[in-house]
Amino acid sequence: MAEPESELLALRNRLGDLDQRIVELIAERFRVVGDVAKEKAASDTAIRDSDRERQVLAAVEHIARSEGAPVNLVRRIYRDLLAESVSRQVSSRSGLLKEVALRVAVRGEHSFGFLAAQKYLSTRDVDGELVVTPTYQAAVDALKAGEVDLAVLPIENTAAGSVDDTYDLLRESEVSIVGEETSSVDYCLCGVSDIPLGAISQVLAAGDGLEQCSRFLQTLPNASQILHFDTGAAMRLVHAAGDATHVAIGAPEAAAAHGLVVLRRGIANHAENFTRFVVLSRHPVPVELSAPCKTSLILIARHEHGALMRSLGVLAASGHSMTKLESRPRPGRPFEYMFFVDFEGNIADPRTADALDDLRSTALHLKVLGSYPATTTTGDAQPGDATPLVPPDASVEALETVATPRPATKASKNYRLAGRGARSDDTVIRVGNLLIGGGGFLVMAGPCSVESADQINATARAVREAGAQILRGGVFKPRTSPYAFQGLGWEGLEQLAAAGRATGMPIISEVMAVDQVRRMAEMVDVLQVGTRNMQNFDLLRELGKVDRPILLKRGLSSTIDEWLGAAEYILAIGNQQVMLCERGIRTFETSTRNTLDLCAIPVLRELTHLPVIVDPSHGTGHRAYVAPMAKAARAAGAHGLLIEVHPDPDKALSDAEQSLSFPEFLSLMRSLQTVVPAA
């Protein structure tokens, strides 16, 4: 018995040595980052170099594959390292004092604001003391009274929207925004011991916790909800009571700090839940021109026709990118509004200063809330120079490419918004960190149908390693025969979403009915409209109401004009994120399942600004023909491919004849690198 224990101890000691080396290397890397920051400052070089970041990510992913390390884990680690590197360099030019410990006011002990403040200080290498206050008002009051140096307040949440109290405080108080921090919000259910959820009798939480976890709380019918202003205080009460049926909602770090166990993680209404916080100071803090910067302001437009548009036109004419526009009622002025505006710019830049002068002349009132280092900008998602197909060992972000302008042509009366007459530049659609359209090219791959968790997980890993960027999978299957496999439904969607999260890939799946749209849009990154539903106008109208990219497949016997008319239904309602997918049409030819109309690619590139995707799997119906037609589609100028891949194609429950095996898909991805796209 002693020998195995001795071997285990030796292995653990070895792990400890490795941990020591890893931390030492991280520390050394940040010392070099500090030297880089000094060199950039001396030469007035811009802090952020997106091309360099993409190269670093591509390189470490390649090393991870070569060494057999988990690629997704390495990618996540290096994204965090790069993000912190940028934050530290930005902080070095922001004017924040580092010689003294800063006192920072936050609402609630171990709240998400508390954690955001810790993150803000640590990523900027600034010492600080967190001062807990009971309310946001108390935090600002402490700041104005000089009792603290900074205050960190939430301003918007991706699920719950804007934080009205913070907007009111910014309007009423003479304070300046000097920074921002965006943090993931992981709501957890915490208690003194692990018990069945049905036994819970009382839930304590702050108002935002109750609001953002409302759907989960509905599954606890026997539990009363107790509103508490402070997450930390709520957890202290639960711990002090010692009653296992009393629980609290908060961060896992808060649970650990108060001696509670996590009963359930990820209980928020939305899986992707982020809160943006603003950092407030009594006075503005200058930011060097080379650092990425935002400016926030309050604008009250003149009460006259077109006043707001004229004000916003000043930003557009001066070349500033607006990142947020929020309207709020003017106190004491019924049905009159003020606007909170964020845009990319630095008040120290003469161009921005001139724009603010022009805004003052057009607006009824203008209050500049501050210029501050930006941690998130629209520039992060902007396409770069057009590049050839990215090889399988390149990073996802390397697919970002610039939109290619094309001359406008006469718009059809059937598709005013989809035609080049409405927009001469190519539309570029963002899906996660990917940009689809313009000069880029990507591949969506996965099984025709999700059959099991093991099947979709294995396929997701295989297509991701081969270089695919989006995971496809059908969960609701329209079949010609009512006796054919119809898909796993919502259970299959859960499995598809889990596989996407595990591999870091956005997912695409087909929506078949109006009543599925909203629920699917919460889980799916791209909603696919199948060929049989291309002219399901009720479905198209509903898709026009959601903020999700749509892949619209061509109908079995539809003309291009009819196809663009179907796209117009979505665009006209308000959703401009439409991609067109050529998947073959029905002709008299029977040697293939359909006739893949590759002529449609150049025709569409001339007629419309919408991205064009090609599905050679359905277009041919034979796996031997998929690769040749995929390469032909790439050469003809398609923006991407939709490919069916299965672990064991011959045993696939749907579309077995046209599905590729893992080795066949890898071979296709490699061969696509040699294809030169049409100009």
- Give the model's pLDDT for residue 390: 33
Instruction: Tell me, yes or no, whether 289 and 417 share the same domain.
Output: no
Q: For residues 566 and 610, is the Cβ–Cβ distance under 8 A? A: no
Using CA atoms, how far residue 301 sits from 46, 120, 339, 659, in Å, is 35, 34, 8, 58
Task: Give dist(CA 436, CA 580) in Å, integer.
Answer: 11
Question: 30 lies in a domain?
Answer: no
Q: Which residue has the higher pLDDT, 41 or 321?
A: 321
Would you list the DSSP string of 617-633?
HHHHS-HHHHHHHHHHH
- Mark which of 355, 373, 391 sits at the end of a domain: 373
Instruction: Tell me, yes or no, whether 558 and 516 share the same domain.
Output: yes
Question: 80 lies in a domain?
Answer: yes
Question: 390 lies in a domain?
Answer: no
Helix (H) / strand (E) containing 565: helix 560-573
Q: Which residue has the higher pLDDT, 231 or 530?
A: 530
pLDDT (tens digit, 9 = 90+) per residue, 583-600?
A: 999 999 999 999 999 999
CA-angle at 212, arms to 250 and 271, nearest 5° = 85
Q: For residues 90 and 285, is the Cβ–Cβ distance under 8 A? A: no
Mean pLDDT of 253-271: 89
Instruction: Tell me, yes or no, whether 664 and 644 share the same domain.
Output: yes
Instruction: Tell me, yes or no, whether 586 and 666 share the same domain.
Output: yes
Task: Give dist(CA 258, CA 135) in Å, integer.
Answer: 21
Pick the closest to residue 439 from 504, 377, 384, 493 (CA basis): 384
pTM (two decimals): 0.53
- Give the model's pLDDT for residue 411: 47
Question: 2 lies in a domain?
Answer: no
- Mark which of 265, 291, 325 sits at the end of a domain: 265
pLDDT at 403 over 80: no
Q: For residues 604 and 630, is the Cβ–Cβ distance under 8 A? A: no
pLDDT at 267 over 80: yes
pLDDT (tens digit, 9 = 90+) per residue, 624-647?
A: 999 999 999 999 999 999 999 999
Instruction: Tell me, yes or no, whether 574 and 639 share the same domain.
Output: yes
Q: Quick one: tokens of 105?
A: 């006011």
Q: Residue 365 belongs to a domain with what CATH number?
A: 3.30.70.260
Question: 303 lies in a domain?
Answer: yes
Mean pLDDT of 121-133: 83
**Beta strands in 382-463, from DSSP E residues, in sequence order:** 429-431, 434-436, 442-446
Give percent of the chain with pLDDT exceeding 70. 88
Instruction: Tell me, yes or no, whether 364 and 427 share the same domain.
Output: no
Instruction: Tell me, yes or no, whether 540 and 569 share the same domain.
Output: yes
CA-angle at 86, arms to 84 and 87, nearest 5° = 60
Instruction: Tell me, yes or no, whether 227 and 111 share the same domain.
Output: no
Q: Which residue has the higher pLDDT, 84 or 577?
A: 577
Q: Quick one: tokens of 571?
A: 């665009």
Instruction: Tell me, yes or no, whether 311 and 432 share the same domain.
Output: no
Question: 11 lies in a domain?
Answer: no
- Give the highest mean pLDDT range of 36-40, 438-442, 634-638: 634-638
83-97, 209-223, 464-478: which has the minimum mean pLDDT? 83-97
Instruction: Tell me, yes or no, whether 148 and 213 share the same domain.
Output: no
Domain with 113, as residue range(s), is 102-179+283-373
Strands 640-644 and 470-472: unpaired
Instruction: Tell me, yes or no, whether 644 and 590 share the same domain.
Output: yes
- Give the model's pLDDT for residue 633: 95
Q: Residue 497 belongs to a domain with what CATH number?
A: 3.20.20.70
pLDDT (tens digit, 9 = 90+) per residue, 55-101?
A: 888 888 889 888 888 888 888 788 778 777 776 666 665 555 554 57
Question: 495 lies in a domain?
Answer: yes
Give percent of the chain with pLDDT exceeding 90. 50
Please tell me the total count of domains within the chain: 4
- Mark which of 334, 353, 373 sits at the end of a domain: 373
Instruction: Tell me, yes or no, whether 567 and 659 share the same domain.
Output: yes
Question: 503 lies in a domain?
Answer: yes
